[in-house]
Structure formats: C-alpha cells, structure tokens
Amino acid sequence: MKRLSIAFVSLLAAVACYAQTGIEWLATSYEFGTFKEVDGRQYGSVKFVNHGPEETMINDVKSSCGCTVAQYTDDVIAVGDTAEVKFSYNPAGRPGRFHKTIRVFVGADNKATSISLKGLVIGSPESLSVKYPVESGNLRLSGESLILGDVVKGISRHEFLNVYNQGEEKFTLTWENVPPCISIGVSSATIEAGDMATLSIYYNSIDDDNFGLNEHKFDLVWDKDNPSARQTVTVAVNLKSEAPKLSAEEMKVAPRIAFPNKVIDLGKVFVKNKLLDDFKLSNEGESVLDIHRVYSLNKVFEVKRMPRKLSPGKTERVEFELDMSALPEGAFNIKVEVVSNDPLRPTETIRIVGEKVKMK
C-alpha cells in the first residue's frame, strides 16, 4: 500500500509537470554536417509535440544572426498535434565551423526554447582568399603580421590571428622560435580539414628590452616532418618608455641628447663588402643620459659599439657597420633611430647617406 501511494504521488507529479510544460521537443539541436560553400543554403527542421492540457501556438522565432532564417506555422496547435520549425543556413563567405542558435517562443507564457545549429563549411577559393588571404601550403591565415603600434613599457597587448586548414587531413598546429615577450594560445590545436582556429597572441612589454620599432617573429608549424610546412608570423611594435612627469625644475636639469651632425655623408663609397664608420652624440643636459637603443630597420646597418650612459657635457662615438654588398649601386639614405631618456626628444633620427660606386 505504501509503495502504491509513492507511485501514485510520482504519477501526479509527472502529470502536473506535463501540464505546466505541455511541450515536448523531439530535438533541440540540428547538425548540418560537413558541406561545401558552393553547395549553397542548407535546410533543416525540428519538431515538438503539444501534450496539452490546452492548445498552443508559436509566437515568434528569433535567430542569432542574419545567416540563419527560420519558418514556422502561425496556426493553432491542438493537443496531441506536432509542430515543425524549419530553418536554413547561408554559408556564403563563411568558411569553417559554425554554431548558431534560434530561439522559439511558444504558448501563453511565451516560453523560449533554444535550438542549436552546427556544421562545417568547406570554403570556396574566393571566400578563402578574402577571409584568409595568406596561403602557405595547407594552412591559410587572416594575416602574416600583427601591427600593435605604440606600446608603453610595462603594458601588455593582446591580438587575434585566425587560421584555416584547407587540406584534406586534420593537423596539429604548433609554434617555434617564440621570443620571450610573446606568448601564444589557440582555441583548438588540432584543426580538422575545412575547419579554422583562433590564435591568441600576447605581447608583454616587460620582457622586451628593445625600445623603438621591433619585429618579433615566430613560426607556425603544422607538419614537423615537412620543412616547408611552416609560416613565419611577425608582431610589429613600437616600444616606448613612459613619459616622465617632471616639474619645471626637474626639466631644467634633465639629460639632453645632441648630435654634432645628424646627416652622416659618406660620399662615394667603393667598398665592396663591410664598411666601418661612426657618428657622435653628446649630452648637453645636467643629468646622466641613458642610451636605450640605436637601430635601423634597414638590415644593412648594424651597431658595433655604443655608449650606454653619457655624463653631462660628454661626447661619445657610436660605431656602426654597413653591409655594402646588400646595397644596390647608386645613392642610399639609411634612417637610424637613437632612443634615450631625454624627456623632450626620446627618439632622435640621423641619416647615413652616400653613393655606392661600382669598383673598376
């Protein structure tokens, strides 16, 4: 008797629950599977049964994006009847895996049910060239460089890079030769054929000691056994020191960088390989001048010796080397940046000019 009572109470609870909900969805997700972008719009549907106790109707259906369109009946759904919600997904310009939702609002209480829609679109060559313009074997990238711009020492930056597997087999993405100031994460290291992943690239300026313009590079690798299965990515940043907040009195005694000559004219150069030369810089302030960096984006320029600190009133030489073999014949103009702790002119530019003449 006691067991019967418990069973009867359970049955009443179930009936009460049915009466409150009324709707039984036969599925709340739909898998489109893998299909090609050129196949065009894909269609699917889900159904629910109205278990009562009253007739009901679909009030509205809302999709998470314009790529998904839903259709439904506005007729009354009697107790015991089945209703269907139809939908379609437009893959145009959307290669890769997708996960969309539609929300179906039913009944007098306007209760919403979310329907999950998933699939994988094999992109067309036209879409891939727009969304992933950099092609490197089976790997495509949304770009091969990230431009971070000006970053003050002590600040971190975070950027994203999307990659796509255009091969026929899945691969596992790894990375090599990553500088200490760069760290990398990925949404999914294993990328199925036709699928994409997102790289999260963090730049921590605390671990970067090169003030001024920098190009930090690392390699993406998707087949360690194939030397050509790699792509170099560049993170470009202009690292700046935080501008000191100095009083008028402090500014008077601050360091001041100066150059006897900001244009180094080498004249006609007959040297075939390496050319050694120098330029001078001075501290005309009343505090120690710190030289953070002397560099050029022109790879023919290399600093051989430079002062790190310059006392007030002192002048020192910066010795440099030019790889003349890498310069074409004719006039050249090489821009060199000098980064210091001068609060008024933290970055100064000098130019090395001349004319490379062919040796007879």
pLDDT per position as a tens digit, 190-203: 999 999 999 999 99
Q: Each residue of 64-77: b (16+ CB within 10 Å) or e?
A: eeebbebebeeeeb
pLDDT exceeds cutoff 80 at 6? no
pLDDT of 136 > 90? The answer is yes
**pLDDT-based confidence at 245, cuts 50/70/90?**
confident
State whether CATH 1.20.210.10 applies to domain 132-240: no
Distance separating alpha carbons of residues 295 and 339, to the nearest angstrom: 9
| E-assigned strand segments in 64-155 | 68-72, 82-89, 96-106, 111-122, 134-136, 139-141, 145-152
Q: So what CATH class is 19-122?
A: mainly beta
CA angle 128, 129, 134 (to 5 degrees): 100
Tell me how crowded residue 345 is: count the other CB atoms within 10 A of its CB: 12
Q: Cα separation of 250 and 320, whole Å? A: 33
What phi and psi, each to the nearest 5 degrees, are found at residue 236? -95, 130
What integer pLDDT is reported at residue 199 of this predicted model? 95
Q: What percent of the chain has pLDDT over 90?
A: 78
Coil vs helix vs strand at 20: helix
- Average of per-residue pLDDT across 104-116: 94
The answer, yes or no, to whether residue 14 has pLDDT greater than 80, is: no
Are 143 and 236 in contact, with CB atoms under 8 Å apart?
no
Collapse the DSSP code of 301 into the 3-class scheme (helix H, G, I; strand E, B; otherwise coil) and give the result: strand
User: What's the confidence (pLDDT) of residue 198?
Assistant: 94
Q: 14 vs 334, which has greater pLDDT? A: 334
Higher pLDDT, 72 or 5: 72
Has residue 289 got a pLDDT over 90?
yes
Average pLDDT in the 256-269 region?
94
- The torsion defined by the Cα of 218, 224, 227 and 231, in degrees rounded to 10, comes to -30
Q: Residue 8 pLDDT > 70, yes or no?
A: no
267: tokens are 């004249």
Q: To which H or E segment does residue 241 belong?
A: none
The stretch 136-153 carries a mean pLDDT of 93
Is the pLDDT assigned to residue 15 strictly greater than 50? no
Q: Which CATH class is domain 248-356?
A: mainly beta
CATH 2.60.40.10 domain locations along the chain: 19-122, 132-240, 248-356
